[in-house]
Amino acid sequence: MPVSISKINSSERRITFHADMDSFFASVEVRERPELKGLPVVVGSDPKGGSGRGVVSTCSYEARKYGIHSAMPISQAYRLCPDAVFLPVNMKLYAGVSEKIMELLKGFADRFQQVSVDEAYLVPGPEITSFEEAALYALRIKDEVQKQEGITCSVGVGPNKLIAKIASGFQKPDGLTVVRHEDVREFLFPLPVSKIPGIGEKTADALKSMGLNRVEELANCDVQLLSGKFGKMGLRMKQLANGLDFGEVREKESVKSISRHGTFAEDTSDPVKITGSLDLLAESVHSSLLKNRFLFKTVVLTVRFEDFSTYTRSKTIPIWTSDIFVIKKTAMQLLSEFIGNRKLRLVGIGVTRLRERDEKQTLITDF
């Protein structure tokens, strides 16, 4: 297990952990089938001999040696490693394991925030007063996850959420990296700007066109120059590059959106197939709304064309509702912009601006 611990003292005042399961879906599958250990395992849609649709959900580290990664088209993953073990997504299994892991992590936390099915932030109790104690505490967390759930996790420990998040991915898999306050810049500055959470491929390319390749260069860049190029995001990026993050670890807020999407078996411009698919997705969204007792005000449409270009459109309605006909009608209105000669690969529908239903509320759905 790789471990990296920066110099430690006992006077630190704020310690944050980020725990991230290693290749979670694939790890759970290997746990269930020990004969897969050491093999390249890819979890996603059926590759169908290299002609399959969809993408890789996750893969084992053995598969990553072939260049396979999450969100890669499954057909490309097959071409890179046709001998890999390709498995369908078993979300029910992963969700059950995730629930157990999150309950385990909560037992180590004074404050806790789950951010996805396989990662969470936590702040330990007041008994952890130094980063040296935090390192030992993190080892206990890792050991308990391994013993109780049979998978490994990587843990980052730092003075805030930003540093903890980056540190958890620093030495995957099964890693532990601890960074104290005064070593933040030494830790961050050599990294590429893409390591800053929120800086995606396009933003990283834009920064590189400005000569900003490493975090140190971004941290020292004139804030007016960044603001002129990126607006408010420019200031935020400079703060993060300097290791400043004031976000608190807290329980995840209530659900903010519900969405469903589907990839067509073949790219299509057939309006009947497209609207039929959207109809089914809308019904699935509606079912989740009712199950969770939510009302919505905004409908969001997502379309992806055969060249992978992706567009979203949204419309906010004047009233709160959970009416299936409102979802479908609004979705069709938004879809009309994209129906034509170009073929669609994917279509998705979602609702946002949610709130819980008031039993006494009368819903108006005609608009």
Question: At residue 4, does pLDDT exceed 90?
Answer: no
Please report the pLDDT score of residue 363 as a whole number: 40
Q: How confident is the model at residue 272 (pLDDT cuts 50, 70, 90)?
A: very high
E strands, the chain, where? 3-5, 16-21, 41-44, 56-59, 85-87, 111-116, 119-123, 153-158, 176-178, 257-268, 294-305, 310-321, 344-352, 355-356
Quote the CA–CA distance of 271 and 81 in Å, as a whole number: 36
Can you give the pTM of this predicted structure? 0.69
Segment 84-105 shows an average pLDDT of 93
Average pLDDT, integer, range 317-345 = 92
| Half-sphere CA count of 201, side-chain side, radius 13 A | 0
Q: How far apart are CA 118 and CA 120, in angstroms?
A: 7
pLDDT of residue 7: 41
What are the residues facing 149 on neighbouring strands? none
Burial 143-179 (b: 16+ CB within 10 A, else e): ebbeeebebbbbbbbbbbbbbbbbbbbbbbbbbbbbb
CA distance 224 to 177: 34
Question: Active site residue: 12, 29, 62, 119, which one?
Answer: 119
- Read off the pLDDT of residues 273-301 as tens digits, 9 standing for 90 and up: 999 999 999 999 999 899 888 999 999 99
Residue 255 has pLDDT above 70, yes or no: no
For position 41, what pLDDT does the model report? 98
CB 194 within 8 A of CB 169: no
Residue 302's pLDDT is: 92
pLDDT in the model for residue 189: 97
In the numeric block, the tokens 């170009």 are attached to 342
The pLDDT of residue 9 is 41
Over range 99-108, report the average pLDDT. 91
Task: Check if 3-23+92-186 and 189-241 are the same fold.
Answer: no
Domain 257-356 is found in CATH 1.10.1300.10: no
Where do we find the tokens 């933040």? 184
Mean pLDDT of the chain, nearest integer: 90
Task: Say whether domain 189-241 belongs to CATH 3.40.190.10.
Answer: no
In the prediction, which pLDDT does 1 show? Answer: 55
Q: Is 119 a catalytic residue?
A: yes
Residue range 36-48: mean pLDDT, rounded: 96
Do 47 and 86 form a contact (C-beta atoms < 8 A)?
yes
Of 159, 245, 155, residue with least CA distance to 197: 245
pLDDT in tens, 143-167: 999 999 999 999 999 999 999 999 9
Contact 83, 66 (CB under 8 A): no
Label residue 125 exposed, middle or buried (CB < 10 Å: 0-12, 13-18, 19+): exposed
pLDDT of 114 strictly over 70: yes
Span 329-336, average pLDDT:
95
Alpha carbons 163 and 327: distance in angstroms, whole number: 41
Nearest CA-CA partner of 279 in 262, 267, 256, 257? 262
CATH ID of 3-23+92-186, from 3.30.300.30, 3.40.309.10, 3.40.50.2300, 3.30.70.270? 3.30.70.270
pLDDT confidence tier of residue 14, bands split at 50, 70 and 90: confident
182-240 pLDDT per residue, tens: 999 999 999 999 999 989 889 999 999 999 999 999 999 999 999 999 999 999 999 99
Return d(Cα 16, Cα 120) in angstroms, integer. Answer: 11
CATH number of 25-91: 3.40.1170.60
Burial 255-284 (b: 16+ CB within 10 A, else e): eeebbbeebbeebbeeeeebeebbeebbee
Centre a 10 Å sphere on the Cβ of residue 79 and count the other Cβ atoms it contains: 14
Domain spans, the chain = 3-23+92-186, 25-91, 189-241, 257-356
157 close to 16: Cβ distance less than 8 angstroms:
yes
pLDDT band at 364 (very low <50, low <70, confident <90, very high): very low
Query: By the 8 A CB rule, do 177 and 168 touch?
Result: yes
